[in-house]
Structures are given as structure tokens and as C-alpha cells.
Structure 1
Amino acid sequence: MSSVMGSGSASTTDALIGYREEVADLQQRIKNRRLQVFGLYGTSIAVPLTALTWVAVKVLFWLHVDTPSVINGAFGGSFAFFVIATLVQLYIEFVDGGSWQDSRTPLKKLRLDLELAEERRILEARRMTPPTLERQASYKERIPGEIARLRNESRHYRRVHLFMQWLLFFSSAGITGVTAWYDPPQPGKGALIGLGFTVTVVTAAAGYFKPRERAFNLQQTADSMEQHATALELGIAPYGEAEERVNLESFATTVERLRADQRMREQQLDQPQQGQHEVI
């Protein structure tokens, strides 16, 4: 009897894993297809933009003199690269049915396939739902992955914040240096305009997206979740009950509360400053 139950549980697990693999495969195909479409359209647009920028730089900075060979080489190389990249991608996309896995496949169709796969997975999971205790135990095993995800996002926003800060440092120092070096004739005036524009954009982006605050919140949530996961593993307070079911239920409730708090903080960061004060 136990072997029959074990066989049924294994088949249920294998079926759910199969649906998850199908969903993960479609998600990866959508990411790949999005990059393919972006590259195809991006390089096609970059070809005329590079040519127009080349002409604009010539008119603005070297209208009555020859353009330096370094500038011509940079723009010429970029133009040739985008032309070759466009031709290669067009060949891969359209010749002989395409060499990409989803050549000529609209992203809308892949998203629809993903929605259908998700729906099949949900229906099957609902039909083969395991007992509550097993679901709570499985939930506990997923928490380390969630902690790792939060920490990865925290590191990402921390790097974005550091990049913005260093860009501000160098751009601000560059403005002072170019002002002191030039009187400023061209190209010093153009460099000052570019540096000032960079400082303004980076300052505005840092104030709007708040990468430092996002990194702090994500790291704080990850640390709290890890603390509760360790307490559950060691059987210490607040998970010192004799019954495993009670500890798992309390753990799942606490982690979901931490995740809800994290989502609330993210929403507050996405709101304007006045809206944040009203929410708080």
C-alpha cells in the first residue's frame, strides 16, 4: 500500500515538475525572442542614426575643417558594424526558415503559449494538490532561493547606485577641468554641455529610481527571511513548538508578512515624494 502511495506521489511530483519545466522553457524562449527582436530592430535603426550623428558632428564641430581621422574611424567602424549585424540577423531570421528557435514567431504568440502553460499547470496543481503540511514543508525549501533572489537584486541596485555616484563624481570633476583647460572654444564647449547634461540626468535618475533605498530594503528583507529560516531549522524561538505543523504554519505566515512589507516599501519608492508622505 505504501509503495502504491509512494508511486502516486512520485508521478504527481513528476507531472508538476514537467509543467514547471514547460513554463520555464517558454519564459526563456520569450527572453531570447525579445533579445532577437530588439537586436534586429535596434541595429536597423542604428544604421541611419549613426550616419546622421556622423553628419551632425561634422557640421557642429568641424564644419570648415577636416574631421579628425579618429572620429571618422570611430563612426565608420560603428556604421560598418551595424550594417553587418543587420544583414546577419536578417539572414538568420528569414533565410531557409530561420536559424533561431522561434524565427518569424511573434512575441504575442509566445506570451499566449506561456499563459496557456501556466493555466494548465495551475489546473493540474489544483487537481493534484498535496496536503497542507507537505505544501508548507515545500514552501520552507523554496525560501533559500527567494533569499538569494532578494540579495541578487540588492547587489544589482547597489551597483547601479555606485555607478551613478562615480559618474556624478567624474562628470562634476570634468566640468571643472574642462572649464579650466579651455576658454572655452570648441570642442570644450561641447564637452561642457555633455558633462552638464550627464550630471543633470544622473542626479534626476538617482532621485527618481532610488537604487540605494531599493538595495537597502531588499537586503533587509533577505536578512530577516534568513533569520527566520535559521530559527526554524534550529528549532529555536519563535519556532520552538513540539509540532512541526505549527512551526511551519507560523514560518509561512511570517515570511509572507515580510514579503508583503517589502512590496509595500517598493510601492512607496515608486510614488512621488508627496504621495510617500501620505502613504506613510
Structure 2
Amino acid sequence: MLIQYRRDIADLQQRIRNRRLQTFGLFGTPIALVATVAAGVGSKVVFWLHTEMPNPIVNTFTASAFILIAASVVQFWAEIGGEVWDDSGTSVRDLKLDLALAEERHILEARRHTAPTADRQASYKERLPPEIVRLRMESRHYRRLHLLMQWLLFISSAAISAVTAWYDPPQPAKGVLIGLGFTVTVITAATGYFKPRERAFNLQQTADAIEQHATAIELGIAPYNAPEEARNLELFATTVEGMRADQRMREQQLDQPQQGQQQVI
């Protein structure tokens, strides 16, 4: 029963996403059509008021307008009478209400089937391997992002010196130097703001710590060597949740400006 509620909730979430896209298309396509026509008229007035517009530009505006008209007609047909969309005529607000009711029914059903604390703690231990895998994957992602940024920074910095030395004066390669300098500035700023190296280190550290405690409780070694299994499971769940809370706190600190991080610390 609980599985069916989860499926219903996931289905409603997907329907809400689809309906938002449909609504965006219904209202966005006519707006884009009006903007295209206005851009064509404005271009004619500003650039070619006393002459003919070039044929490629006229063809581009005309083709864009026809495509947007066709898209608007198809979308309105699907919305009004085509029965192509599952939720045609249904507002996102109604779907959100259905989702809230489904989540409430899921909570009520879950309360009626709540397992004992010892069973929940035991199942919590079994759910940790995917969490460790997720932390490691995110750590690898930020580590690769950091390496990519650093290599781009190294190459751009070296290229600036090489181009400057090759062209003296550097007027023929001024555009290249401007682009390389812009790249160096953007990468340096992005590295300092997003801090992918620190994020990768924190994620890897949390994953290793959780895995260490999972191995300890599996082998029954300290600090999970108490005679009562319930006591070990309770201590394990408390410890791991504390680690995950610390990880979230570190992520929040990395998202704050440097001055805000100093105040938090």
C-alpha cells in the first residue's frame, strides 16, 4: 500500500512538471510570436526604412513567425479539444492540491504501519550504502570540476604569456589576449565562489567517515561492541545523522560569502 502511495506521488510530481511546460508553451509561444513580429517591424523601421530588407532576413522572420503560429495552433488544439494532453484544462494549482492530499494519505498510512524503533534503526543501516555512493559521486564530480578549472586556468595563463611574447607589440593578437584574460578572470572568480575543491574534500571525508562507522557496526567493534544490539543501532544512527548534519552545515558555509563564513565560524 505504501509503495502505491509513493508511485501516486511520483506520478503527480511528473504531471505537475509536464503541466508547467504545457502552460509555458501555451502562453509563451504567442508572446514569442508577437515579439518576433515586433522585432521584424522594428528592424525594418530602424535599419531599412527607405530601402528593402534583405531577403535572408525577411525569410528568417517569416519562417519564425509561421513556425510559432503553427506551434500555437497545435498547442491550443491539444489543450481544448485534441485530448492529447493528459491534464488538459487542469490547472497546476489543482494538481498541487492532489499532490498534497496524496502526501497526507501517505503519511497517515505510514503511521498505521510504523515499524518498531529497532526495526527502523536496522533498516537505516541497510539504506546507508546508496548514501555513501552518492557522496562519493558528488565528490568525484566536484574534484573533476576543480581539475578542469585549474587546467583551463593554467593553459589560459600560459597562453597569455606566449601570445604576448610572440607579438610585439601585441596589436595583432589583442583580441586573443582579451579573451584569454577574460577566461582567467572568470575561472578564478568561479573557483573562489563555488569552491569545488573544498566541496569534493568535504563530501569524500563524510563518505569515508560513514563507511568507517558502517564497517565498525558490521564487525561489532568499538564503539559498537555493546552487548545490546539495540544500543549499537541507536548509537550508529545518532552518529551518522550527526555527520550528515555537519556535512550540510559545511555546504551552507561554503555557499555564504567570505565575511559570512567568518561570522559563522
Contact 1:93 1:99 in 2 (8 A): no
Residues 217-255 of structure 1: per-residue CA shift (max 9 Å, x gap) = 011111111111111122222111222211111111111
Give the Å deviation of 1:22: 2.8
Alignment of 1:199-238 (within 5 A): 199-238=184-223
Instruction: For residue 198 of structure 2, give the secondary structure of its aligned residue in structure 1.
Output: helix
Residue number among 170, 182, 194 corresponding to 1:183 in the alignment: 170
CA distance in 2, matches of 1:84, 1:152: 46
Aligned to 2:7: 21
Would you say 1:277 and 2:257 are equivalent positions? no
Deviates more, 1:128-137 or 1:270-279: 270-279
CA distance in 1, matches of 2:235, 2:128: 14
Residues 120-158 of structure 1: per-residue CA shift (max 9 Å, x gap) = 322321232221111111211111111111112112211
Residues 192-218 of structure 1: per-residue CA shift (max 9 Å, x gap) = 222222211111111011111011101
Change (3 A) 1:191 1:39: farther
Instruction: For residue 239 of structure 1, give the secondary structure of its aligned residue in structure 2.
Output: coil
CA distance in 2, matches of 1:157, 1:103: 41
Aligned to 1:122: 107
CA distance in 2, matches of 1:254, 1:102: 46
Contact 1:92 1:99 in 2 (8 A): no
Change (3 A) 1:107 1:243: same
Contact 2:78 2:85 in 1 (8 A): no
Residues 49-74 of structure 1: per-residue CA shift (max 9 Å, x gap) = xx9xxxxxxxxxxxxxxxxxxxxxxx
* Structure index of larger Rg: 2
Give the Å deviation of 1:104: 8.2
Alignment of 1:73-88 (within 5 A): none
Change (3 A) 1:31 1:273: same
Instruction: For residue 241 of structure 1, give the secondary structure of its aligned residue in structure 2.
Output: coil
Deviates more, 1:106-115 or 1:160-169: 106-115
Aligned to 2:117: 132
Contact 2:224 2:236 in 1 (8 A): yes
Counting aligned pairs with the same residue, the percent is 68
Change (3 A) 1:149 1:17: same
Alignment of 1:99-114 (within 5 A): 113-114=98-99
Change (3 A) 1:131 1:150: same
Would you say 1:156 and 2:141 are equivalent positions? yes
Instruction: For residue 171 of structure 2, give the secondary structure of its aligned residue in structure 1.
Output: coil
Contact 1:92 1:100 in 2 (8 A): no
Contact 2:78 2:88 in 1 (8 A): no
Aligned to 2:44: none
CA distance in 1, matches of 2:25, 2:153: 30
Change (3 A) 1:270 1:22: same
Contact 1:93 1:103 in 2 (8 A): no
1:18 counterpart letter in structure 2: Q
Aligned to 2:152: 167
Instruction: For residue 223 of structure 2, give the secondary structure of its aligned residue in structure 1.
Output: coil
Instruction: For residue 129 of structure 1, give the secondary structure of its aligned residue in structure 2.
Output: coil
Show structure 2 runs of 5+ residues with no match: 40-60
Give the Å deviation of 1:174: 3.0
Give the Å deviation of 1:276: 1.8
